[in-house]
Amino acid sequence: MVKIFSFFLFFIFSLKLYAIDTKAEQAVVIDFDTNEVLFEKNSNAKVIPASMTKIMTVYVAFDRIENTNFSILNECRVSPKAYKMGGSRTFLEIDDKVTVDDLLKGIIVQSGNDASIALAECLAGTEEDFAKLMNVYAERLGMANTNFINSSGWPDENHFSTVYDLAILSNALIKNFPDLYSYFEMKEFTYNEITQPNRNKLLYQVPGADGLKTGFTKKSGWGIAATAKRDKRRITIVINGTNSSRSRLNESINLINWAFNQTSQKTLVEEGQIIKNVDVWLGVEPHINLISSKKIISTLSFDQIQLMKSSIQYIKPISAPIISNKKYGELTISIDGKPDIIIPLVAEKNISKVNPFLKIIAAAKYLLFGTSLDEN
């Protein structure tokens, strides 16, 4: 017989959840550690990524630096194509040999289109071949709605992404290249005697902000992939389609602060935690603890925490022999706005069958008293 036990898990907090929205056309807010989407608005709509494209250009370079002999001290020649590129620039000179280190700074801090092309050509021979490489990485990372045509984000009808895909990319870069990621914290960079500030103004105005990349085209509006870390917790946001740089700044600040102030990481279940003590049928012990097979951490708003429900499902009684760590039931945690979390429940220890001569007595006791043997 299957038994289902339902109950409420209540946590009392003095703070109240405040609803969040944004003027951005597309937005996503993700908890870096749990990888949960805390807020989204048109997050899978195709957008023009503009200079947020450069996050992938840097990702490819970082991967080459980490996993090959390619070094930040290597020098790359500036081609006529790179030199003539319009838009934001690092002001590279044609035929100059520029270190990978300077090119990375030019891309990340100055959003240099010329630096992006120079690095792409240095790594793949041509920017076109580099774009193919970018798409290989995008596929590996699970960026299902992305296609890159160039390394800089220069507008092209076949060059697109989504804010969700860009968030996947941003988090992967932080996780996979923690040492190199410090490039994104730089607030200014001087090349060719021209000093330019980082276009990411969050670095100056938001506690814990340390990346990543802004973007703008007339057609797509103003966007940013941004992240901040406070008290060992990191939040990543990507927005696009705001109508000014001021609006981009305000909307990104609002979303970051909302995520830190109105959501929190909670351990729902510890690995090995006793969830239910249940009866054993014809075992040498009358009861067994069903325990959680894994630890579950989730990022929740305060009202989600207060209204969280859980239920336990298992077959009662559990027949001996019982094997330690074998699944005998499930714990389901239901949270408003999230898919149900299903956790296998396993036996805490082994319990063997009762002696054959005691089976009749044990069965009679279970039918009369609800337990197969006298409790010790």
| pLDDT surpassing 70 at residue 62 | yes
- Active-site residue set: 51, 54, 111
For 33-115, strand residue ranges (E) read 37-41, 75-77, 97-99
Mean pLDDT of the chain: 90
| pLDDT surpassing 90 at residue 51 | yes
pLDDT of the residue at 14: 28
Round to whole Å and give the CA distance between 296 and 269.
Answer: 5
In 3D space, the residue among 335, 288, 337, 282 whose CA is nearest the CA of residue 314 turns out to be 288
Round to whole Å and give the CA distance between 168 and 265.
Answer: 20
Fold for domain 26-242?
A: Beta-lactamase (3.40.710)
- Of the pLDDT bands very low, low, confident and very high (cuts 50, 70, 90), residue 7 is very low
Starting at the edge strand found earlier in the chain, the sheet holding 221-230 runs: 37-41, 26-31, 233-242, 221-230, 209-217
- Of the listed ranges 5-9, 158-162, 271-275, the one predicted with least confidence: 5-9
| pLDDT surpassing 90 at residue 203 | yes
243-302 pLDDT, tens digit each: 999 999 999 999 999 999 999 889 999 999 999 999 998 889 999 999 999 999 888 887
| Residues 197/220, Cβ–Cβ less than 8 Å | no
pLDDT of the residue at 366: 61
Round to whole Å and give the CA distance between 191 and 196.
Answer: 8
Question: What's at 259, amino acid-wise?
Answer: A
| Residues 30/236, Cβ–Cβ less than 8 Å | yes
In 3D space, the residue among 24, 41, 23 whose CA is nearest the CA of residue 220 turns out to be 24
Round to whole Å and give the CA distance between 281 and 320.
Answer: 6
Phi then psi for residue 153, to 5 deg, are: 95, 10
- Of the pLDDT bands very low, low, confident and very high (cuts 50, 70, 90), residue 114 is very high
Q: How many helices (H) and strands (E) does the chain have?
A: 10, 18
Neighbours of 180 (CB within 10 A): 18
| pLDDT surpassing 80 at residue 369 | no
Plot region of 36 (φ>0 → left; ψ -120 to 50 → alpha; else → beta): beta
- Per domain, the residue ranges of the chain are 2-11+267-369, 26-242
pLDDT of the residue at 81: 97
| pLDDT surpassing 60 at residue 374 | no
Fold for domain 2-11+267-369?
A: Peptidoglycan synthesis regulatory factor (PBP3), Domain 2 (2.60.410)
Length of the chain: 376
